[in-house]
Structure 1
Amino acid sequence: MSWLIALRAILHREALRFVGQRGRLVAALVRPLVWLFVFAAGFRAALGLSITPPYQTYITYETYIVPGLCGMILLFNGMQSALSLVYDREMGSMRLLLTAPLPRWWLLFAKLLAGTLVSILQCAAFLAIAALWGIVMPWQGYLAVIPALALGGLMLGALGLMLSSVIRQLENFAGVMNFVIFPMFFLSSALYPLWKMAESSPLLRDLCALNPFTHAVELIRFALYGQMNLPALGWVALALAGFAGAALWGYDPARGMQGRKG
Structure 2
Amino acid sequence: MSWFIALRAILHREALRFVGQRGRLVAALVRPLVWLFIFAAGFRAALGLSITPPYQTYITYETYIIPGLLGMICLFNGMQSSLSLVYDREMGSMRLLLTSPLPRWWLLMAKLLAGTLVSILQCMIFLGIAAIWGIRPPVVGYFAVLPALLVTGLMLGALGLMLSSVIRQLENFAGVMNFVIFPMFFMSSALYPLWKMREVSPLLADLCAVNPFTQAVEMIRFALYGQPNLPALGWTLLALVAFAGVAVWGYDPARGVQSRKG
TM-score, normalized by length of structure 2?
0.98
Residues paired across the two proteins, number: 261
Alignment match, 2:16: 16
Counterpart AA for 1:11:
L
Counterpart AA for 1:44:
R
Alignment match, 1:127: 127
- Closer/same/farther in 2, CA of residues 258 and 92 from structure 1, 3 Å limit: closer
- Per the TM alignment, residue 58 of structure 1 is displaced from its structure 2 partner at its CA by 0.2
Alignment match, 2:156: 156
Counterpart AA for 1:82:
S
Counterpart AA for 2:197:
M
- Per the TM alignment, residue 255 of structure 1 is displaced from its structure 2 partner at its CA by 2.8
Alignment match, 1:212: 212
Alignment match, 2:86: 86
Query: C-alpha distance in 2, partners of 1:187/1:119?
Result: 22
Alignment match, 2:57: 57
- Per the TM alignment, residue 209 of structure 1 is displaced from its structure 2 partner at its CA by 0.4
Structure 1 unaligned segments of length 5 or more: list them. none
Alignment match, 2:232: 232
Query: C-alpha distance in 1, partners of 2:20/2:259?
Result: 37
Query: C-alpha distance in 1, partners of 2:41/2:7?
Result: 43
- Closer/same/farther in 2, CA of residues 244 and 173 from structure 1, 3 Å limit: same
Alignment match, 2:139: 139
Alignment match, 2:246: 246
Counterpart AA for 1:197:
M
- Per the TM alignment, residue 258 of structure 1 is displaced from its structure 2 partner at its CA by 4.4
Query: C-alpha distance in 2, partners of 1:18/1:227?
Result: 32
Query: C-alpha distance in 2, partners of 1:5/1:248?
Result: 21
- Closer/same/farther in 2, CA of residues 258 and 109 from structure 1, 3 Å limit: closer
Query: C-alpha distance in 2, partners of 1:240/1:167?
Result: 20
Percent identity of paired positions between Structure 1 and Structure 2: 85
Counterpart AA for 1:259:
R
Query: C-alpha distance in 1, partners of 2:136/2:161?
Result: 34
Aligned alpha-carbon RMSD (Å): 0.8
Query: C-alpha distance in 2, partners of 1:162/1:238?
Result: 15
Alignment match, 1:179: 179
Query: C-alpha distance in 2, partners of 1:162/1:248?
Result: 8
SS in structure 2 of the partner of residue 254 of structure 1 = coil
- Per the TM alignment, residue 260 of structure 1 is displaced from its structure 2 partner at its CA by 3.9
- Per the TM alignment, residue 95 of structure 1 is displaced from its structure 2 partner at its CA by 0.6
SS in structure 2 of the partner of residue 147 of structure 1 = helix
Counterpart AA for 2:190:
A
Query: C-alpha distance in 1, partners of 2:135/2:204?
Result: 29
SS in structure 2 of the partner of residue 255 of structure 1 = coil
Query: C-alpha distance in 1, partners of 2:33/2:51?
Result: 25
Alignment match, 1:259: 260
Contact 2:252 2:259 in 1 (8 A): no
Query: C-alpha distance in 1, partners of 2:261/2:207?
Result: 36
- Per the TM alignment, residue 203 of structure 1 is displaced from its structure 2 partner at its CA by 0.9
Q: Return structure 1 stretches of 4+ with deviation > 4 angstroms.
A: none
CA offset digits 1:122-174 (Å, max 9, x no partner): 00000000000000010000000000000000000000000000000000000
Alignment match, 2:108: 108
